[in-house]
Chain A
Amino acid sequence: MSGTPQRSSGPGRLLIAVYAVFALAASARAGVQIATKFDEAPVAYLLSAFAALVYIVATVAFARPGAAARGVALAAVTVELLGVLTVGTVTAFDPGDFPDDTVWSLYGRGYGFVPLVLPVLGLLWLRRTWSADRGVSESP
């Protein structure tokens, strides 16, 4: 009965909700930045857009069943973790390269460090649910 939980149910429901909030927030922020003041800090704004894309992909991949979506989710969450660590470290030591904030600046401090915690929870949840798709597709 119990088995491996599905990615989009149980705690996954909450995880996807938080991802969706970040997908929305990052997209809106990047959209406004690029539309109204792109020349001020093009690198930071392109990075904002990239972060938004990663959150959108992760949200959709977590919500969809199947092994393919699982792989996409793993890739997105890995990129997200590397992104927040890289951008966080760069902005902590030399904020000059990023004159305006992104979601990942200072390890996501502007967002209560949720951007730092989220990919870790995402990876843990993927590990927890890893065999769920196999269970569905290969069950006799």
Chain B
Amino acid sequence: MVAVVDWAVIVASLAYAAWALVAVVRNRPPREPYVVGAGVVELLILIQAVVAVVLMIADGTPEETATFIGYLLMNLIIVPLGLFWALAEKSRWGTSVLVVAALVVPVLVVRMQQLWDAGAA
């Protein structure tokens, strides 16, 4: 995969998780800035997914293609689902859902990188 795009997703999701965590500690419910932030993270994830699909078509598929695509799909839905679930809870616990959702993203990206590199070797 393209390292720059991967790292952008990882850094953005970790920063978002940290930002939401501050709100959890300060006992804040999920507010509009967090929706916008989630949108930014999701946009980067979308770009990464498109890049991955293009590369798969151009250069061939990675190791364990089905698993790779599974991670890719889960990465696409996790932030929107987390946001949906978080916004209904008007307390710090709603914001904490955003932290969890955002932390799943870098894990998935690293797993995708591992499968991709295994396929390239």
Query: What chain A residues lie within 8 Å of B97 (beta carbons)?
Result: 13-14, 17
Q: Of the 9-residue stretches B8-16, B36-44, B88-96, which lies at the interface with chain A?
A: B88-96
User: Chain A: interface residue count, which band?
Assistant: 10 to 19
* 1/0 contact string of B18-33 vs chain A (CB within 8 Å): 0000000000000000
Query: What chain B residues lie within 8 Å of A28 (beta carbons)?
Result: 70, 73-74
- CB–CB A10/B85 < 8 A: no
Contacts A17-B85, A20-B81, A36-B66 given; does A10 touch B100 at CB 8 Å: no
The answer to whether the Cβ of B45 comes within 8 Å of any Cβ in the partner chain is no
Within 8 A of A (CB), among B49-96: 64, 66-67, 70, 73-74, 77-78, 81-82, 85-86, 88-89, 91, 93-94, 96
User: Chain B: interface residue count, which band?
Assistant: 20 to 34
Q: Is the interface of A mostly helix, strand, loop or mixed?
A: helix
Bound: A17/B73 CA distance, A: 18
- CB–CB B74/A24 < 8 A: yes
Query: What chain B residues lie within 8 Å of A18 (beta carbons)?
Result: 100
The answer to whether the Cβ of B101 comes within 8 Å of any Cβ in the partner chain is yes
B binding-site residues for A, Cβ under 8 Å: 64, 66-67, 70, 73-74, 77-78, 81-82, 85-86, 88-89, 91, 93-94, 96-97, 100-101, 104
- If A10-B93, A21-B104, A35-B66 are given as contacts, then 14 extra A-B residue pairs at C-beta distance below 8 Å, sorted by A number, are A9-B93, A10-B89, A10-B91, A13-B85, A13-B96, A14-B100, A17-B82, A17-B86, A17-B100, A21-B78, A21-B100, A24-B78, A32-B66, A36-B66
23 contacts between A and B (CB under 8 A): A9-B91, A9-B93, A10-B93, A11-B93, A12-B93, A13-B91, A13-B93, A13-B94, A13-B97, A14-B96, A16-B85, A17-B82, A17-B85, A18-B100, A21-B100, A21-B104, A28-B74, A29-B67, A31-B70, A32-B66, A32-B67, A32-B70, A36-B64
